[in-house]
Amino acid sequence: MTGPSRPRTRVGCDTGGTFTDFVALIDGRLTTAKVLSTPDDPARAILEGLEQLGLAPDAVDLVHGTTVGTNAVLEDRGAPVAFVTGTGFSDLLALGRQNRDALYALDQPPVDPPVPPDRCFEIDARTAADGRRLATPTPEALDRLKRAIAASGAEAVAINLLFSWLDPELEQQLADALADSLPVSCSHQVLPEIREYERGIATWLNAAIGPRLAGYLKRLDRALAGGRLAVMQSSSQTISADQAARRAVHLLLSGPAGGLAAAAQIGNGLGEDRLLTFDMGGTSTDVALLEGRPQLTREGRIGRYPVAVPMVDLHTIGAGGGSIARIDAGGLIQVGPQSAGADPGPACYGRGGTEVTVTDANLLLGRLPAGVKLGGRHALDLGAARAAMQRLADRAELDLETAARGVLRIANEHMSRALRVMSAERGVNPSNCTLASFGGAGGLHVCDLAESLAMRRALVPARSGVLSALGMLVAEPGRQLTASLLAAADAIDVDRLDAAFAPLEIQARDELGAEGIDADRLTLERRVACRYRGQSDALELPADAPDALIDAFHAAHEAAFGHRLALPVELVSVRLDARGPARLSRVPAPDDRFEVPASDGPVPLHARDALHDAGVAGPAIVLDADATTWVAEGWTARRTPDGHLLLER
């Protein structure tokens, strides 16, 4: 006879390049932890964090944001992939769209193809644009293909046939012949849409990182020894770990998506309908524009590769607290994109690092008090930071303070430029937005960045140093599903749309039902992608009124591009956003008390939880357990009832 099941503790975990962050819901209270990441095996840091929280691994319900897939792509450590396509198209991924990085350069630098030619395989399998089967491979051809792939050293297979979204059975026939030896990704499952190059890249990425991600998740699942595991997707929705490896390409922005999910919920609660966010961690900074909820794009990129699956729309730069400052050949200070990472980390971490970083500059200028322990555990070494900065200052022929201010000014300019990319360059005046800062280092730069963009309001959420981990708890389980539907808009009616969406809705209910979410608790949002006939790019519109679709598209095109055309409108695809209820619908206000360290410096220190209604005027430093906020001169900061910090100039 079995006893009652043990209650499980919900934990959000975000693995970053420098720190691994945790937020746990224990007895109705949110408890946080922060440990140094272990890049060689991220699971070690996760187990260390659970131990720090006093939680048994087998008693947690863990939602994880992981960089394993992203790092595998950026560092070219994906599994060797065999790329299978139709006769005459083996160079599809190498040719791409033939876009040039240097448009007018006569001598273009050579670029390695995603898959080397000796692992690209052709087979006589072809579907026409109208869905007619033109060629079906013979059993002998399939056997030859299988032997050739086995001899190539591939560890995974990506199958991408022309018009696979019209004839998925043809790809499935190839997959069935190969699947007993290697994991297989089919383009009709990864991205069932037109554009064979983008579909091929997505399928190759899915195949390349799938085995790495599957191996990591299996190791983590074993380490949890019975604890439940879910993973954040690039769309800011979660997916169970047992389904995640099959949708590996959907996890490339797993970590950053968590912070946006939490920031959107907090912004909505405060009535802030337009947030310009920056998430500054130890290694990088992610910038996004939120208008009620995270915006999604199908034109994202990872490295030099387009990723046409839905992902949060953000811009990432190599500027973080651990970004290394150096002197270039012209004698000028440069900052990033190289990072000191978690080991050895910035010089002030006292772990043997000798390169000066942005965090060292903040410490030396008094914005980060020397008595603070990062994450409540990691003491700072002021002497090591001073020695590292002095070496940089000597090479630049500057005094130490001027060099430190120069490091911060350059780092701020990198981030300010990224914020302009996501606002001004898209026609949004940043001064009409509230700047929302999170990440371990964000609060130290929020006032400087707001001033550089003529912004007068800023927000530093409660638990801002671990907000991406908090986002894992507030995110909704969900799926973003799509299918191509090429048709004239005036030929679309309710019945045809219902028929197109029906298989997507069945898939969403099946997959989310396997995660324990009842169909009657799902929210299903239908959208369609439309374009003028002859165009390549499409705009997404709600699919609730097909009779008004043409007029709605003309209006949307004029709003986006300033004009409308006297051309027929056609549908390109149907897209379904399926969401279950959030794991945590309301974030409890912090009720912990933070002890401010003793300081005889010129800038007063304040605990966030002790701020009164009138707030404090800068210059001042506001401290809490997981982040530090620098309130610059000319700014005031006040605490909301839910513990968030609102700054005004």
pLDDT tens column, 303-348: 788 899 999 998 888 888 888 999 988 888 999 888 887 678 899 9
Q: Are 238 and 477 in contact (CB under 8 A)?
A: yes
The CA-atom distances, in angstroms, between 362 and each of 382, 404, 407, 590 are: 11, 8, 9, 26
Under the banding of pLDDT at 50, 70 and 90, the label for residue 566 is: very high
Cis amide linkage into residue 344, ω under 30° from 0: yes
Mean pLDDT of 366-384: 82
DSSP, res 390 = H
pLDDT tens column, 15-40: 877 789 999 988 888 888 888 888 88
Using a 10 angstrom Cβ sphere, with 0-12 exposed, 13-18 middle and 19 or more buried, the burial of residue 153 is exposed
pLDDT tens column, 35-82: 888 888 888 999 999 999 999 998 899 999 987 787 788 778 889 999
Domain boundary among 162, 187, 213: 213
Q: Are 459 and 647 in contact (CB under 8 A)?
A: yes
| Per-residue H/E/C for 497-516 | HHHHHHHHHHHHHHHHHCCC
Using a 10 angstrom Cβ sphere, with 0-12 exposed, 13-18 middle and 19 or more buried, the burial of residue 375 is buried
- Is 570 part of any domain? yes
Percent of the chain with pLDDT over 70: 97
Per-residue model confidence (pLDDT) at position 3: 40
Q: Are 198 and 205 in contact (CB under 8 A)?
A: no
Q: How many CB atoms lie within 10 A of CB 58?
A: 13
Structure tokens at 550: 């043409």
Structure tokens at 535: 């165009």
Q: Are 454 and 243 in contact (CB under 8 A)?
A: no
| Nearest C-alpha neighbor of 266 from the set 275, 257, 254, 279 | 275
- State whether 197 and 118 are in the same domain: yes
Per-residue model confidence (pLDDT) at position 17: 72
Q: Report which listed range, 274-283, 396-405, 605-614, is most confident.
A: 396-405
Under the banding of pLDDT at 50, 70 and 90, the label for residue 255 is: confident
As a whole number of angstroms, the distance between CA 82 and CA 58 comes to 38
Q: Are 471 and 312 in contact (CB under 8 A)?
A: no
Structure tokens at 45: 């840091």
Q: Report which listed range, 1-15, 85-99, 371-385, is most confident.
A: 85-99
DSSP, res 378 = E
- State whether 83 and 179 are in the same domain: yes
- Is 277 part of any domain? no
pLDDT tens column, 399-450: 999 999 999 999 999 999 999 999 999 889 999 999 999 988 899 999 999 9
| Nearest C-alpha neighbor of 438 from the set 264, 590, 270 | 264
| Nearest C-alpha neighbor of 258 from the set 592, 37, 582, 581 | 582
As a whole number of angstroms, the distance between CA 519 and CA 142 comes to 40
| Nearest C-alpha neighbor of 411 from the set 356, 490, 370 | 356
Per-residue model confidence (pLDDT) at position 19: 81
Question: 567 is in which domain, residue-wise?
Answer: 476-579
pLDDT tens column, 465-523: 899 999 999 999 999 999 999 899 998 889 999 999 999 999 999 999 999 899 999 99
As a whole number of angstroms, the distance between CA 401 and CA 538 comes to 52
pLDDT tens column, 574-591: 999 999 998 787 777 777
- Is 446 part of any domain? no
Mean pLDDT of 268-290: 89
Domain boundary among 213, 247, 273: 213
3-state secondary structure at position 458: strand
Under the banding of pLDDT at 50, 70 and 90, the label for residue 375 is: low
Beta strands in 308-396 (DSSP E): 311-312, 314-317, 323-327, 333-339, 373-374, 378-379
| Nearest C-alpha neighbor of 84 from the set 176, 216, 194, 193 | 176
- Is 608 part of any domain? no
| Nearest C-alpha neighbor of 481 from the set 543, 545, 581, 574 | 574
| Per-residue H/E/C for 572-640 | EEEEEEEECCCCCCCCCCCCCCCCCCCCCCCCCEEEHHHCCCCCEECCEEEECCCCEEEECCCCEEEEC
- State whether 485 and 400 are in the same domain: no
As a whole number of angstroms, the distance between CA 231 and CA 477 comes to 9
Lowest-confidence pick of 23-32, 163-172, 374-383: 374-383
Residue that is written with structure tokens 């001033």 in the block: 451
Q: Containing H/E element for 555? A: helix 549-561
As a whole number of angstroms, the distance between CA 424 and CA 413 comes to 15
pLDDT > 60? residue 395: yes
Q: Are 262 and 474 in contact (CB under 8 A)?
A: yes
pLDDT > 90? residue 379: no
The overall average pLDDT reported for the chain is: 89
Mean pLDDT of 167-185: 91
Per-residue model confidence (pLDDT) at position 134: 96
Residue that is written with structure tokens 């599903």 in the block: 481
Choice between 83 and 535, residue whose per-residue pLDDT is larger? 83
Choice between 547 and 449, residue whose per-residue pLDDT is larger? 449
**317 Cβ contact list (under 8 Å, min separation 6):** 284, 285, 287, 336, 337, 414, 415, 417, 418
Per-residue model confidence (pLDDT) at position 145: 95
As a whole number of angstroms, the distance between CA 442 and CA 619 comes to 17
- Is 168 part of any domain? yes
- Is 80 part of any domain? yes
Residues facing residue 60 across a β-bridge: 9
- Is 399 part of any domain? yes
The CA-atom distances, in angstroms, between 577 and each of 87, 237, 479, 484, 640 are: 36, 10, 6, 15, 33
As a whole number of angstroms, the distance between CA 295 and CA 70 comes to 20
Structure tokens at 422: 């996501």
- Is 374 part of any domain? yes
Residue that is written with structure tokens 């800023």 in the block: 458
CA count, 13 A, side-chain hemisphere, 355 = 20
pLDDT > 50? residue 2: no
Lowest-confidence pick of 90-94, 609-613, 621-625: 609-613
Domain boundary among 385, 410, 435: 410
Structure tokens at 412: 């701020």
Alpha helices (runs of H) in 299-373, residue ranges in sequence order: 358-364
The count of domains in the chain is 3
pLDDT > 80? residue 549: yes
Q: Containing H/E element for 45? A: helix 42-53
